[in-house]
Structure 1
Amino acid sequence: MTTAPARAADPAPGTTAVRATAPAAVRPYQDYVYAYPHKTAYRPLPDRPALRDLWRAEPKDALALYLHIPFCEVRCGFCNLFTRVGAPGDLTTRYLDALDRQARAVREALGDDGPVRFAAAAFGGGTPTFLEAAELERLCDIAEHGMGAPLGRVPLSVEASPATATADRLAVLAARGATRISLGVQSFDEREARAAVRPQHRRDVDAALGRIRDTGVPVLNIDLIYGIDGQTPASWRASLDAALAWRPEELYLYPLYVRPLTGLSGRTAVDDPAWDAQRLGLYRQGRDHLLERGYRQVSMRMFQRADVTAQGPVDHACQSDGMVGLGCGARSYTSGLHYSFDYAVGMPQVRAIIDEYTATRDFTTAPHGRRIDADEARRRHLLQSLLQAEGLHAADYRARFGTTPQDDFPAELADFAERGWLDDGQDGPDRQDGPATSAGGSGHGRLRLSPEGLAHSDAVGPALFSARVRADMAAHQAR
């Protein structure tokens, strides 16, 4: 795991650090920060706090629900998610049995002392559509009857792969209220797919996309990856155009990462500046291509068709808490603790954790996690707001914490400004309207990244990690 350099000593509150020389160059691809703190910073919780106590004082009127299915038909070469290939015997049945037990235990722990309502739901993995149609029906029942999430009345996002996006499975999801299907394509070029250890045929990808469109689910998202061995600007454009032919409501453009214990982990180019430059070039090409074709940029990775209305939160629990995760790879977020089950990437360890989960009878406590103090809460709010193109609304930050980001993180924001990563207040065609703030500003208006700052999101995020989180991530033993 690559970590950011240690945080420099802060100047006095309200002052701006002055640098005598130009800032040292940083690697643009350090970490994909989709949640903070990262799960590799979680540790076993010796006291195993009771969920009822964790949730007692939390607002529960706009919760997000996430159900995790840890199975795939094949493991891609870049994947370091918590998942296993295949599910022998009755493993999926046993897993759904455990998920049902967990759902009922968690719903009881949420209590009835106030309104418990869900504002959004998602099925992820792994590959949720690895489950057969009848099993997907049961998964929806667990969300609805076990947890009380009103599918059909709240946004429901589901991840799928071309091989598992079959007509019967998609029909179940459409009937149960799915509003978004995300298809992991990665590349429409079969040679590139093989290079990423993702064997698939173009005809099967197109057939899956056609079946998704036939369901009438309102949002189709297509995932693509840049930086694959052998990929060129021409082949990257061909994949972009192949995706655009389906007029997807959303597109995610992911830089390729090579992680320990994954199928591509023997690659020698991991620390190659030429690879960083290639990925940056392909990112800019893809961004400009989509902006020119009627898409708006939501984050470094996410692009949304300009005529589309968002179906719910852009990212689950972006700055706020209130995430309820079910399944052995899911996380849950309260204001004071993020918690989950154990985490691994290697197949023997993943299988052991899944087996332990399916045998669990008592789901009333939190086994692994990380406490969130006031400093970490500020970092999380700033980090996850700043990584969205809309940026951070200073009034929201002040209302929550009583301070401004400039008060709390003057050195980091000054560094971003010196690198040209903060918006200077000039709104271009791909920017949201409204005033932006500078690193030394008063804290009114909005703090957001410039286009070049968004391009370096995977360096911006790690630069805001606390020293304690960085140390625990570095001490994590990949297994």
Structure 2
Amino acid sequence: MNRGAQSIRPYRSYVYAYPHKTSYRPLPERPALSELWAGERKDALSLYLHIPFCEVRCGFCNLFTRIGAPGELTTRYLDALERQAVAVREALGDTEPVRFAAAAFGGGTPTFLTAGELERLCDIAERRMGADLREVPLSVETSPATATADRLAVLAGRGTTRVSIGVQSFVDAEARAAVRPQRRADVEAALGRIRDTGVPVLNIDLIYGIDGQTETTWRRSLDAALAWHPEELYLYPLYVRPLTGLGRQAGADADTAWDEQRLRLYRQGRDHLLAHGYQQVSMRMFRRGGAGGTAPRGPDDHACQTDGMIGLGCGARSYTSGLHYSFDYAVDMRRIRAIIDDYTEAADFTRAEVGRRIDGGEARRRHLLQSLLQAQGMEVAGYRERFGSAPAEDFPGELAAFAGRGWLEETGGLLRLTPEGLAHSDALGPELFSPAVRHAMAAYEPK
């Protein structure tokens, strides 16, 4: 780990999936899904349905989503989603039990759909895929503007156990600075409607590092969120990525000052939540003490990394043990619109189009990443049982460097990040990317 070993920036990349989608490439052989899933365990699958629509696009957003849905686009999209679900379920076969252990609707904003369209989305998950939404944890993302009573009633009635709302800031001026037009009064009203549904887990997303944000205004947002006693809180550092609405002044001094601001606000937010009885699950995720006893828990940071993931929709990923696959990826709005249009017109969903193969070395890295970035750490014995080797044998340089920086410790058979290691998760994660994945990501041309 000698690349910039003296000055690793704390906010290099948010590692929410490995390998990252920018390392995916078109699959020349276009393997049949029935072949890909033939040798996979199917008794505890995760199901993810992606809705690529939002009422507005926030300035920091690089998700696969578009603004609005003219004409009958949502209907055409759900038609395509249903065709894909039928093809995927058939590819899973019936020679062994197919069971879903968790489900999620993400985006975009799933609640951009009308109440009737949300009913249809649930029907696709249940009737076409066979997921019993009332018997498994179901997480759904929403926004203040789309968390209407009729939509929330549908979700609660269909078994939703977790609603995650992207607030980002309770300070109107900061919301505008993040190119997220909203009023605190509307946010509070949406939170009230969510609580009225009785859904067991409320998650609130907040962002730190917004232009003009101070310790005082950050504390104001934290306290406003805590007033709702959310079972979960996610604290995200602001990132500004290519082709998004936000831009920042270039220059090393500005970058350094911004890094210092984000680290300072992260520590303030972490300490404030810990003092209010929350437990830190990862750098980003905090869970209220006692909330996990009777209420179903929402997904942790690495939930979207789970092997055995079925993703439906043109922005979703699917994971087998040997291949991660999806459709084409873009951030530019024009390219996103074209990909969505192609998806709605597609008739054949029986093959994987874009993806990346996962060999033994990548499987080790993936397991280490998704385990180590959680506050509970990774069991060394469990790693050895799975891979037949010790983490220190497979990653001697990286782990020694992390320990040397005070980021990592081994205690009681666990490899665990220290508090300072958790704070630097977005620097630590990218250091574990393989050279091949680094090369593919570097060669990717943003579009």
Q: TM-score w.r.t. structure 1 length?
A: 0.91
2:366 to 380, 398, 401: 380
What residue number does 1:456 align with?
A: 424
Q: CA deviation at 1:308?
A: 1.1
Task: Report the RMSD for the aligned CA atoms in angstroms.
Answer: 1.4
What residue number does 1:361 align with?
A: 347
Q: List alignment gaps of at least 5 residues for structure 1.
A: 8-22, 426-434, 436-444
Tell me, in whole angstroms, the C-alpha distance in 2 between the residues paired with 1:266 and 1:137: 41
SS of the aligned residue for 1:192 comes to: helix
- The residue type paired with residue 86 of structure 2 is R
1:345 to 331, 334, 345: 331
Question: In the superposition, relative to structure 1, how do residues 182 and 269 fare at CA in structure 2: closer, same or farther (>3 Å)?
Answer: farther
What residue number does 2:308 align with?
A: 322
Tell me, in whole angstroms, the C-alpha distance in 2 between the residues paired with 1:211 and 1:39: 35
1:179 to 152, 161, 169: 161
2:276 to 267, 288, 293: 293
Question: In the superposition, relative to structure 1, how do residues 201 and 302 fare at CA in structure 2: closer, same or farther (>3 Å)?
Answer: same
What residue number does 1:90 align with?
A: 72
| 1:195 is the counterpart of 2:177 | yes
Spell out the pairing of 1:352-431 with structure 2 (5 A cutoff).
352-423=338-409, 425=411
- The residue type paired with residue 347 of structure 1 is M
SS of the aligned residue for 2:408 comes to: coil
Q: CA deviation at 1:385?
A: 0.4
Spell out the pairing of 1:134-283 with structure 2 (5 A cutoff).
134-268=116-250, 272-283=255-266
Q: CA deviation at 1:399?
A: 1.4
Deviations 1:220-239 (A, max 9, x none): 00000000000000000000
Contact persistence 2:46–2:309 (CA under 8 A): yes
Question: In the superposition, relative to structure 1, how do residues 390 and 154 fare at CA in structure 2: closer, same or farther (>3 Å)?
Answer: same
What residue number does 2:10 align with?
A: 28
Deviations 1:39-81 (A, max 9, x none): 0000000110000000000000000000000000000000000
Moved over 6 A (4+): none
What residue number does 1:307 align with?
A: 290
Deviations 1:154-202 (A, max 9, x none): 0000000000000000000000000000000000000000000000001
Q: CA deviation at 1:393?
A: 1.1
SS of the aligned residue for 1:228 comes to: coil
- The residue type paired with residue 264 of structure 2 is G
Tell me, in whole angstroms, the C-alpha distance in 1 between the residues paired with 2:306 and 2:115: 34
- The residue type paired with residue 353 of structure 1 is I
Tell me, in whole angstroms, the C-alpha distance in 2 between the residues paired with 1:401 and 1:64: 23
Tell me, in whole angstroms, the C-alpha distance in 1 between the residues paired with 2:131 and 2:359: 29
Contact persistence 2:26–2:353 (CA under 8 A): yes
1:114 to 75, 91, 96: 96
Tell me, in whole angstroms, the C-alpha distance in 2 between the residues paired with 1:391 and 1:95: 40
Contact persistence 2:107–2:141 (CA under 8 A): yes
Q: List alignment gaps of at least 5 residues for structure 2.
A: none
Contact persistence 2:139–2:298 (CA under 8 A): no
Report how many residues are paired. 443
Q: CA deviation at 1:266?
A: 4.9
- The residue type paired with residue 313 of structure 2 is G
Deviations 1:249-284 (A, max 9, x none): 000000000000000035436861110010000000
Tell me, in whole angstroms, the C-alpha distance in 2 between the residues paired with 1:101 and 1:77: 33
Contact persistence 1:121–1:157 (CA under 8 A): yes
Tell me, in whole angstroms, the C-alpha distance in 2 between the residues paired with 1:233 and 1:317: 31
- The residue type paired with residue 147 of structure 2 is A
Q: What is the aligned-residue identity percentage? A: 75
Tell me, in whole angstroms, the C-alpha distance in 2 between the residues paired with 1:393 and 1:153: 30
SS of the aligned residue for 2:364 comes to: helix
Tell me, in whole angstroms, the C-alpha distance in 1 between the residues paired with 2:123 and 2:251: 46
Tell me, in whole angstroms, the C-alpha distance in 2 between the residues paired with 1:319 and 1:352: 27
What residue number does 2:438 align with?
A: 470
What residue number does 1:335 align with?
A: 321
Question: In the superposition, relative to structure 1, how do residues 358 and 269 fare at CA in structure 2: closer, same or farther (>3 Å)?
Answer: farther
What residue number does 1:69 align with?
A: 51
Q: CA deviation at 1:396?
A: 1.7
Contact persistence 2:201–2:298 (CA under 8 A): no
What residue number does 1:440 align with?
A: none
Question: In the superposition, relative to structure 1, how do residues 297 and 144 fare at CA in structure 2: closer, same or farther (>3 Å)?
Answer: same
SS of the aligned residue for 1:79 comes to: coil
